A and B are shown apart, each in its own frame.
Chain A
Amino acid sequence: MKFIHIFLIVAIILNFNFLKADEIKTENKIAKNLRCLICQGQSVHDSDSEFAISLKLVIKNKIQEGLSEEQIYSFLKMKYGEWILYDPVFNRNTYFLWLLPILIFLAGGAIIIKRFYNKK
């Protein structure tokens, strides 16, 4: 009987632990993808500034409210601008940034293939 009591109490206490392991994982993942705006070269996850501490708390709250990762990113983008995201968004200003490596790769490949066939 006593054993059941203890078991029930433990089960109830464990249920109160709202933050599940996968929530912590996404929380860390989001914080790692955000730039700490008042620090130099640090992500929000790495920083212990007041700004980063509050931001981590907000991320945690938003996850518990049921917001998806994308929704949290767009929320923060709205508040702080695109600069807060480490991953630059694909738009008119960043076409060159995203497409240049692919272009260079294709051009290089074309040169190699041309040389190869010319030798033949």
Chain B
Amino acid sequence: MKSKFIPIILILFFLITFVIFFKGLKNPNIYTPDVNLKKEVPSFKLKSFENDSIVISEKIFKDNDYYFMNIWASWCIPCKKEHEFLMELKKDDRIELIGFNYKDNFTNASSFLKDLGNPYDIIVSDKDGSVSIEWGAYGVPESFLVYQNKIIKRFIGPINEDNLLEIQKIIR
């Protein structure tokens, strides 16, 4: 009786372990961050890009308006690629574009905007990147769609035509 019992338990044990690990094999092992999150906008104090005045987050993000917060830098090549879509988004007056100039210097950044156009309504400069961490950002470029003081969608990497259409659909 006893000798029959142990092999059955052993086989069951290995079978369960096998099934669990086999299922685990099919899970993608590439880390995919959550893009549809409803998180509060973190409050911050940053220097304005144009002058040394301090900009407070509470003054930027007001209720019932859509905001597109875009982290960019002049040294970032993909930012150049997404710039035309930002210029396109600028034409829409239902959304306000906030630029986060990430670890950049003023001269390079302003010549970047001069060459490609300035899509932003407000630009703040995040010199050491610490506020971007508060936003949960990974790097440049990255964008957050904000509504009613909540992040409703994030775009990691440069935005493309599909993203633009998606944003226009959301704010309609």
Contacts and interface: CB of A to CB of B under 8 A. Distances in A.
Interface string A80-120: 11010000000000001000100000000000000000000
Given A37-B138, A38-B139, A96-B20, A54 B133 contact: yes
Contacts of B31: 37, 83
Contact of B136 (A61, A80, A83, A96): A80
B78 interface: no
B33 A54 contact: no
A71 to B, nearest CB: 14
A57 B136 contact: no
Given A38-B138, A96-B20, A55 B34 contact: no
B103 interface: yes
Q: What interface size band does chain B fall in?
A: 10 to 19
Given A37-B31, A81-B33, A96-B20, A58 B138 contact: no
Closest 8 CB pairs of A and B: A54-B129, A79-B136, A58-B133, A58-B130, A54-B133, A57-B130, A51-B139, A38-B138
15 contacts: A50-B139, A53-B129, A54-B128, A54-B130, A54-B132, A54-B133, A57-B129, A58-B133, A58-B134, A79-B134, A79-B136, A80-B33, A81-B33, A83-B31, A100-B17
Interface of A: 37-38, 49-51, 53-55, 57-58, 61, 79-81, 83, 96, 100
